[in-house]
Structure 1
C-alpha cells in the first residue's frame, strides 16, 4: 500500500517531465563547411541564430601564434566576434553551461556575457582572458533564449605587435543543454499534489471497505 501511495503522488509529476535530465551538446565549430580562413556562422548551426559570429581556421598561416591558434580546444576551427563588436546568438530556450574563451589580440581582454529571456537580462558575467591559452568558463545560465557577448580593453602583447589588432575573442567548445525541463507553477504543482493525495485516499478507503465487507 505504501508503494501505491508513492506512485499515486509521483505519477502526475513524472507525466509533466519534472526531474528530467537535459541532454548536453557541444558546438566545436569543426563540423561547419571547411574553409581556408574565415566565414560567417550560418543560422541554424546548433539550432541557433548567429549575429556577428564568424568561424576561423586557427591553423591557417594568418592565425598562427595568435589567440585564434592558441584558443583551439578541438580541431582547427574556433568562433569569434566579427570586428571585435558585440556578437549575439539566440533562438529557443536553453541552458548555457560553459565555453572556452581566448583573447585574439589583447592580453587582459574583458568579455562580458549576458543571458536574456524575452529581452530581460537574467545573467551577466565578465571574465578576463589572455592570448596564450584558452580559459574554460562555467556560466550556468539557465532558461535563456539569447546570449550577448561584448569584449573590451586589454593590451596588445609584444609578440603580436604588427600581426593584428582588436578586441576579438576566440570561442570554442560551446556547451549547452538542448532541452529545458518544464517546471509547473507552484499553484499548479500544489493542485497536482492535492489531487494525487485525494486519489490515493479514495483508493485506500475503497480497499478498507472491501476488507470490512469481506469479514462480514
Structure 2
C-alpha cells in the first residue's frame, strides 16, 4: 500500500473519529413514563404539565388499586405500580413537546370491550402517522408505534360495548388506560464551538502520528 493511500485512509479515519465524537450528544436513551412518580393520590387527578417534559391536555392519572375502579381497565391495565393515565370524559387527549420519538405504550379499555383507540403522530400540525388499535378491559396491550420526529400525539377513542359486570358499577364511557409510555427525546446538544478545533486537532495529530510510524517501518 502506498504512502499516499495510507495517508488518505488515515485522514478518513480521523474525520470519522471526529464525527463519532460530535455525534455522541445526539444519542438518546429511551425513557419510560409509568405515572407512578407523580404526587400520590387516592383516586384521580390531572397529569401536570411538565411531567416527563411534556404538556398533557385532557390526560389524568388514576390510582388503579382504588376500589372505585376495581375490574375496570384502570385496574387491569396496570403494567407497573398502581397508576395509569386516562383520557378525561372519553374525549380526545394530547401529548406535546419539542421533537421526540414515540416508541410504544400499553393500552387498555376502561369500560368498553372492543374499544378502538386511534393515535396520531403530528409535526407542526401535520399528521405523519396514524394507527388504530382495539383493546379490552381485561388486560393491557403493548402497542409498538415507532413514530419518529413528531412534536404532538393525539389520542382518540370510540366504540366498544360495556360488559354487564361493569354496568353494575355505574360507570361507562370510551375512556382508555395508558401505561409505560416509552419515548426518545431528540437531543440537539453538540460540543461547544471552542471545543471543535481541539477535537479536529486531536484527530489530525493522531492520523499524523500513525502515518509517521508507517513511514519509519518502510524506511
Q: Considering the TM-score relative to the shorter chain, is it more than 0.5?
A: yes
Give 1:30 deviation, angstroms: 0.4
- After superposition, the C-alpha distances for 1:88-136 in whole angstroms (9 at most, x for unaligned) are 0101111100000000000000000000111111100000000000000
Cα distance in structure 2, aligned partners of 1:121 and 1:19 = 28
CA distance in 1, matches of 2:99, 2:188: 10
Whole-angstrom CA distance in 1 between matches of 2:168 and 2:145: 34
Instruction: Please name the residue that 1:165 is paired with.
Output: 172
Is the Cα contact below 8 Å between 1:18 and 1:181 reproduced in 2? no
How far 1:180 sits from its partner (Å)?
4.8
Cα separation, 1, equivalents of 2:180 and 2:84: 8
Give a deviation string over 1:23-69, Cα, whole Å, max 9, x none.
11000000000000000000000000000000000000101111100
Match of 1:10 in 2: 16
**Matches of 2:182 and 2:90 in 1, distance apart?**
22
Give the secondary-structure state (helix, strand or coil) at the position aligned to 1:42.
coil
Q: Give the alignment's TM-score, normalised by structure 2.
A: 0.79
Runs of 4+ aligned residues of structure 1 deviating over 3 Å after TM superposition are 18-21
Partner of 2:80: 74
Q: Where does residue 54 of structure 1 map in the other structure?
A: 60
Q: Which runs of 5+ in 2 are unaligned?
A: 1-5, 190-203
SS at match of 1:17: helix
SS at match of 1:5: helix
Contact 1:99/1:137, CA 8 A, preserved across alignment = yes
Count of aligned positions: 190
In 2: Cα distance, 1:50 partner to 1:17 partner: 31
CA contact (8 A) 1:39 1:56 kept: yes
Unmatched runs of 5 consecutive residues or more in structure 1: 183-199
Whole-Å Cα distance in 2 between the matches of residues 140 and 20 of structure 1? 18
Higher helix share: 2
The equivalences for 1:75-154 within 5 A come to 75-154=81-160
Paired position in structure 1 for 2:200: none
The question of whether the paired residues in 1 share the 8 Å contact of 2:103 and 2:144 is answered with yes
Q: What do you get for the CA RMSD once the two structures are aligned?
A: 2.5
